[in-house]
Amino acid sequence: MAFSTFWISLFLILFAVTGSFSAEESESNEFVVTLDHSNFTDFVAKHKFIVVEFYAPWCGHCKKLAPEYEKAASILSKNDPPVFLAKFDANNEQNKAIANEFEIRGYPTLKILRYGGSVVQEYKGPRDADGIVTYLKKQSGPASIEIKSPEDASSLIGDDKIFVVGVFPEFSGEKFENFMTLAERLRADYDFGHTSDGKFLPRGDSSAAGPLVRLFKPFDELFVDFQEFDVDALVKFVEEASTPIVTLFNKDPRHHPFVIKYFGSSNAKAMLFLNFTAEEKFDAFNSKYHEVAVLYKGKDLSFLMGDIEASQGAFQYFGIKEEQVPLIIIQTNDGQKYLKPNVEPDQIASWVKDFKDGIVQPYKKSEPIPEVNNEPVKVVVADNLEDMVFNSGKNVLLEFYAPWCGHCKKLAPILDEVALSFENDADVIIAKIDATANNIPQQSFDVKGYPTLYFRSATGKLLQYDGDRSKQAIIDFIQKNRDSVSEQDSSRKDEL
C-alpha cells in the first residue's frame, strides 16, 4: 500500500507524535550491521530478507529507537534462519545517492528488502524490541499460512483484524499462484492464509469449494468473497474491501490500523468531528454520515468520524476550535480545505454534494499579516507567503513549525543566531511560518513533520534542508546555495 507522505504526516499529528526524545543511541552495536555507500549493495545482494534503518545521527527518534533495534537484532540473530537488521546513515553526504534511491524523506525510515533488494517494502510494525521481533518473524516466514482445521482458522482469524483466505481445491495452478503473489505483495499490510476446505472457516458459505478469496473484517458486512484472480484486480479488491465505509477515530487502539489505512488512501478525506459521548444527536449524525459515505463509496472520497477527545492533534493541525463542533472538514491531496462548522445531521448530504459539484469554496487559513515584523527571524503567514518568499528576490530560509513542537522550540534560538549572522546581508532572509495556523501550498512544500526547513534562492531554486540543526551547518548550507541579487536580476532580464 503506497502511503502519501502528506497523509502520513497528518496521521502522526492526529496521534500527537510530537516532542523531543532524550534516549542515547546504543554504543555497542554488536548485532545491527552498519552499512554505507561502500558495502550497501553487496550486503543487500547476499540476503533474501533484511531490514534497513535509514537514520540521521542527530535525530532524536533514531536515538530512541537504537537500543530497541539493537535488542531485536540480537534476538533475531538466533532465529532459524537468522534475520539481519542493518542501519544506514542517510544524512551522510557520501550516502545520499542511496538514500535518494530509496526515497528517504524522514528519520528513522525502516524498509524491508527482499530477494537481494529486488522487492522493497515499508516496515509498518512496532518500534519496541518485542514488537519488532514478532513482526519480523512473521514477515520473514511464509506469506500465506495453510489452514488445515477449524482450530487453525480460529487461531489466525480474529474479530479485530483483516484476514484474507484463499480457498482452493488444490494448491497449484495459475489462480493459486496469483493468490500467493497477492500475499507476497501485500504481506506488510495484511495477514493471509489458504485452505482446501471452506468448512474450516468461521463465516461465509462453508460448502464453497473455490477457487475464491474470502476477506474477513471486523466491520460492515464482516466478510466478502471475490472470484477474479488477476493479480491487480485482487490487490484492488483487498484494498477496497478492507476499508470501512466510515473509519472511526477515537482512543480505542483497535481502530488505529484502519485510521492508518484511511490516511494511506489516495482519496480526498472527509472528516466529521463531534463529541461521541456528549452529543445528543450522535445517533442521527452516525446514521446520516453513513448514508452519505455509502452514496459516495468508490467516488474518490473517504470518510472518517472522529471523537473530539482523541482529535486534539487534528484541531491543532487544522486550527479549529471546539465551539465549531460538530464540524465537517474535507481536505484534498493538494492541501485545499473545505469546512462546514456547527453542522446539523440533515445538512451533511447537501453540503457534501455541493463540495462534489464544486460549489463550496476552499477555506484559506491565515494569521493576520504582522504590522511590525522586525525580529531577526521574520514572520510569514499564508497571506504574505508569496510576497516574502516567492516574490522577494531574496535568498529565503523558511521554517515550518508548530507551536507545541519540542523540536521547534529547541531550534528557535539557533535560527535566531543564524538570522543575526545575516542581519547585515540584504540578500538573505530567515523566516518562519506556523504551519498549524496557515495554509501551506502543498505543490511547493512537502511538510511531513515539524520543524521542516526549506530554502529558496534568489533565482528560484527550492531545496529542503535535512542537515544538522546547528548554527554553523545551517549557515554553511545557505552560503553554499545562495544566489546574489545581481544573478536574480540577470535571470529576470533573460526571461524578458
Task: Give me the DSSP letters along 240-279.
Answer: HHTS-SSEEESS-GGGHHHHHHHHHSSSEEEEEEE-TTT-
Q: How far apart, in whole angstroms, are the C-alpha atoms of residue 156 and residue 167? A: 15
Catalytic residue among 153, 314, 408, 458: 408
How much is the pLDDT for 488?
52
Joined grid coordinates for residue 472: 554553523
- Where do runs of H (alpha helix) occur along 369-453? 385, 406-421
Strand 395-401 relative to strand 428-434, pairing = parallel
| H-helix or E-strand spanning residue 13 | helix 5-14
How much is the pLDDT for 28?
46
- Let me know if 59 is a catalytic residue: yes
How much is the pLDDT for 347?
97
Residues 6 or more apart whose Cβ sits within 8 Å of residue 244:
219, 220, 258, 262
CB atoms within 10 A of CB 403: 12
Residue 424 one-letter amino acid? N
How much is the pLDDT for 3?
39
Catalytic residue among 56, 62, 162, 164: 62
Catalytic residue among 72, 270, 327, 405: 405
Q: CB–CB of 13/314 below 8 Å?
A: yes
- Let me know if 268 is a catalytic residue: no
Q: How far apart, in whole angstroms, are the C-alpha atoms of residue 479 and residue 472? A: 10
Q: Which residues of the chain have pLDDT under 50?
A: 1-6, 8, 16-29, 490-496
Residues 6 or more apart whose Cβ sits within 8 Å of residue 160:
218, 254
Catalytic residue among 1, 59, 90, 98: 59
- Let me know if 405 is a catalytic residue: yes
* Rounded-to-10 torsion of CA 19, 103, 38, 139: 80
Could you give all domains of the chain from N- to C-terminal order, each with its CATH number?
A: 31-140 (3.40.30.10), 145-241 (3.40.30.10), 247-356 (3.40.30.10), 378-484 (3.40.30.10)
- Let me know if 62 is a catalytic residue: yes
Q: How far apart, in whole angstroms, are the C-alpha atoms of residue 408 and residue 416? A: 12
Joined grid coordinates for residue 126: 512496532
